[in-house]
Amino acid sequence: MKSILIVDDESRLLQSIQAGLKAYQDTFSVLTAANGRQAMDVLASHKIDLVVTDLRMPEADGFELLAHISGRYPFLPTIVMTAFATPEIEERISSSGTLVLLEKPLDFDRLAEAIIDGLEQSAKDGTLIGFSLASFMQLLAMEQKTCLLQIQAGPDEEGFIFFEHGELLAAIADDLKGEEAVYRLLALDNVKLTFRKTPKRKIRRLIDKPLMAVLLEGLRRKDEGELEPRPSGITTEWDELSGQTLPGDDDVLQAVSQEERVTIESKEDKQSKQGDEIMGQLEETLGKLKDVEGFMAVGIFTPNGEMAAQVNVSGIKIAEIGALANDVLMKAQKATDLMNVGRGQVVHVEAPKAHVIARCLNESEDYAASAAGKAHLHMVLILSKDGNLAMAKIKMESVIHEVAAAFR
């Protein structure tokens, strides 16, 4: 009989999944683990045919588990559970290889279907089960991960990719850097992924394009045969690294000429100044909401929950509250879309201590996507329980349209 491993730190969810899958006990048995570290121990001591894992867990998270699987069990089918997916991301990742993405809260019928499909695929002779580097990078972006990822494919093929808060920032492979390095790494098959300790020093940006633009171009080049793995025997600049000794800022840029380095630094300084100016303008615009009676805090967030600006007079944790409110808003938009009543724009949560109002402004036609030249942002306002709710909503509507100018 086949065996599957379910990994999640929520004990009640594990129990629910086990109960929900009881109908399939003649097809497969279920083992569980509370985190990535326990899962690695189970994989070492049992024959597992498929893994279902959460991403956010203590000790060793789902990313570390996936990296471990890529190196030790490259033919093991994997299903990822997350509460932060959008329909677009779910379809994109699930169709890019055998790494299947399912949204929480789980639909047990959909989970069972995905498990059975995965087990059937793994039983086929000659079927490659390992997930792709492209799908793994999309997960890192979706979960806003900061990490240094080492990619290896044999003794002579390796490179490094750096993500900061889910944003693709830098990469090196052989004598290539930036986007070209990512394209080279995307051409590799059967890669082993390893997380290295994040450098303490700030790594300068070497990649300006959005992640999806880089991935699409890299996969296009691979499909059309424009990229070939480099010949064996060529060493990378980071081949001397061992253990947890990691590249810092200078290591990332050591292949860059002095002229190029000056250009990068000049561009960075200019971008930093422009960023400070935009931030100041955003905060000034958001400050107009402070006149509303009961105002506590307001934040502007990107669609994936990253805070772009805030005004906070109460000391409340607006970044954390905003990320949660952002998730509620996204789910409400999915629900209203399914209801065929139009895209939901505002979610108002009336709690015992405060009002939480989340407002979406997306000038594109698809609520789950952003369009070039069109604003897509979320505003989260926190108002005290006895605040002027009517005035807050009126003023919020005018302010969010002012803020939108900075996102076009």
- What letter does residue 407 receive in the DSSP assignment? G
* 291 C-beta neighbours (distance < 10 Å), count: 10
pLDDT at position 238 is 37
Which H helix or E strand runs over 333?
Answer: helix 318-339
E strands of 94-221, at which residues?
99-103, 147-152, 158-164, 167-173, 176-177, 192-196
Work out the mean pLDDT of the chain and round it to a whole number: 79
Q: Give residue-wise pLDDT tens across range 326-365.
A: 778 888 888 888 888 888 899 999 999 999 999 999 887 7
For the cut 80, the answer to whether the pLDDT of residue 249 exceeds it is no
Common-topology check for domains 2-131 and 279-407: no
Tokens of 294: 């009961």
What residue segments make up the domains of the chain, in order of their start?
Answer: 2-131, 135-233+251-256, 279-407
- The candidate with the shortest Cα–Cα distance to 179, out of 223, 224, 157, 210, is 210
Q: Is 124's pLDDT higher than 70?
A: no
pLDDT at 248 over 50: no
Structure confidence by residue, pLDDT tens digits, 261-279: 455 445 445 444 554 566 6
Tell me the two tokens of residue 219.
């996969």
CATH topology of domain 2-131: Rossmann fold (3.40.50)
> Per this entry, what is the length of the chain?
408
Whether the per-residue pLDDT at 308 is higher than 60: the answer is yes
**pLDDT band for position 163 (50/70/90)?**
very high
Question: For 76-93, what is the mean pLDDT?
Answer: 68
pLDDT band of residue 84 (cuts 50, 70, 90) is: low
Phi, psi (rounded to 5 degrees) for 203: -95, 130
The answer to whether the Cα torsion of 262, 267, 269, 270 is positive or negative is positive
Q: What percent of the chain has pLDDT over 70?
A: 77
pLDDT of 307 reads: 76
Say whether the peptide bond before residue 105 is cis (omega within 30 degrees of 0).
Answer: yes
Please report, rounded to a whole number, the percentage of residues in the chain having pLDDT higher than 90. 29
CA torsion angle for 308, 310, 315, 319 (degrees, to 10)?
Answer: -30
pTM, to two decimals? 0.53
pLDDT of res. 287 = 92
Residue 312: predicted pLDDT: 92
Please give the pLDDT value at position 128: 42
Which CATH architecture best describes the domain 279-407? 2-Layer Sandwich (3.30)
3-class DSSP assignment, residue 214? helix
Residue 254, pLDDT score: 46
- Helices of type H across 97-161: 108-123, 133-142
Highest-confidence segment of 86-100, 155-169, 202-216, 285-299:
285-299
List, in sequence order, every beta strand (DSSP E) within 342-403.
346-350, 354-362, 376-384
Specify the residue for token string 């996102």: 407
